Amino acid sequence: MGQLAIVFGGPSPEHDISILTGLLSERVLRDAGHDVAPLYWTRTGEWVLCPPRSEAKDFLEGTPRGATKLEVTLGGGFHTLKKGLGGGKPLTLDVALNCCHGGAGENGGLNAVFDQLGLPMTGGPSPLAALGMDKLAFGAVLQANAIPTLPRVALGAEEVPFDGPYIVKPRFGGSSIGIEVVEDLDTARALARTSVHLRQGVVLEPFSKGAIDLNLAYSTHPSLRFSLLEKPLAPAAAEGIYSYTQKYLQTDGLQAAPRELPAQVPEKVAAEAERLAGAVLAVTGLRGLGRLDFLLVDDVLYVNEVNTIPGSMSLYLWPSTIPAAELLMGAVEEARASFGRAEPAPFEPGAALRAAGGMAGKLGQIGQHR
């Protein structure tokens, strides 16, 4: 058995939050007796092995002191950087806990790389990770399966089937980065042209003043379980948008953000949140340790978004009777058990090549039909 890699960082606007999630997960698992290797993916794409029990302040200037630089090859995995003629020393890893938020770390890109490395990784498989990061596609899947969700369209669509005010969101991204409330489409378009967070796409949703945010974490292994239902408490001046600053830029981080836990809502609302969460997981196939976000509008509960790699892995939402290490290891064990199952059976090797004939014939088919 190799070590369990804790992977965090990455080139994403959520880089710093990923560091905190990775360091927290490392402490939880190390304290529970697991052999872990904290792998830091730097802002510029390098990989390093961090010293055990590093602190957040150790990353203020970049790579922490005492870290070991790594190189990674698809055929050979992770090695310490080569020194002299002896070459680098391989890291013996057998599974990875993905703590990367946003960007390629969360959208399935990193999962695809680890597939090629032969290392099971949580947060996947890569096609489902991509679905979770694409707000427009995720909403369309819910609508197609009659799961209640607010209307959502891409900015640039010919028609917007709802009136303002609007919530403007990055199509790909999380942690409330880049989200704004605007009164009209002209303002939304101007924001799309000027905001660096909206360059990869913009979605519009109707803004409902007074809507209540509710969050529910899920764990799908060894069986489906749900956390306590959370109601984040954003200041009135925030107009209902729970911002990045309110979530993370506090001395004690996300765990100290104001909230009701459990949320003081009618029992039927809490039951409906679990029912809808189960429906979402069933139709999407999402797995692991994640979080679903809801909006309660005029006593109707809507699924808003899914976060397949939530901040602090949403460990703070679970009752104390469920150990945090158990939740993390459930996701790890599920990734290990399901690794490779999604690979299609290969067609007869060489059959298409033998049938193709010469390339001259293929080239001759181009441009024949006018």
94: closest CA among 113, 120, 123, 75? 120
At 198, the pLDDT band (50, 70, 90 cuts) reads confident
Order of all β-strands in the sheet with 300-307: 259-260, 225-232, 212-219, 289-297, 300-307
Q: What is the tally of structural domains in the chain?
A: 3
pTM, two decimals, is: 0.88
> Is the model's pLDDT at 248 over the cut of 50?
no
CATH label of the domain that carries residue 262: 3.30.470.20
In a domain, residue 50? The reply is yes
Q: What is the mean pLDDT of the chain?
A: 89
In a domain, residue 366? The reply is no
> Is the model's pLDDT at 16 over the cut of 80?
yes
Percent of the chain with pLDDT over 70: 88
CATH label of the domain that carries residue 198: 3.30.1490.20
Order of all β-strands in the sheet with 153-154: 153-154, 202-206, 166-170, 180-182
At 252, the pLDDT band (50, 70, 90 cuts) reads low
Give 57-80 pLDDT, tens digit per residue.
999 999 999 999 999 998 889 999
Question: Between 186 and 38, where is the model more confident?
Answer: 38
Question: Do 67 and 49 sit in the same domain of this protein?
Answer: yes
> Is the model's pLDDT at 151 over the cut of 70?
yes
* Burial bucket for residue 141 (CB in 10 Å: 0-12, 13-18, 19+): middle
Cα 362 to the chain's mean position, in Å?
Answer: 43
Q: Kindly report the backbone phi and psi dihedral angles of residue 18, in degrees, each rounded to the nearest multiple of 5, phi listed first.
A: -65, -40
Q: For position 81, what pLDDT does the model report?
A: 80
Question: Do 161 and 284 sit in the same domain of this protein?
Answer: no
The β-bridge relationship of strands 225-232 and 212-219 is antiparallel
Distance (Å, whole) CA 41 – CA 161: 42
The β-bridge relationship of strands 180-182 and 166-170 is antiparallel
Cα 77 to the chain's mean position, in Å?
Answer: 23
Question: Do 57 and 36 sit in the same domain of this protein?
Answer: yes
> Is the model's pLDDT at 367 over the cut of 80?
no
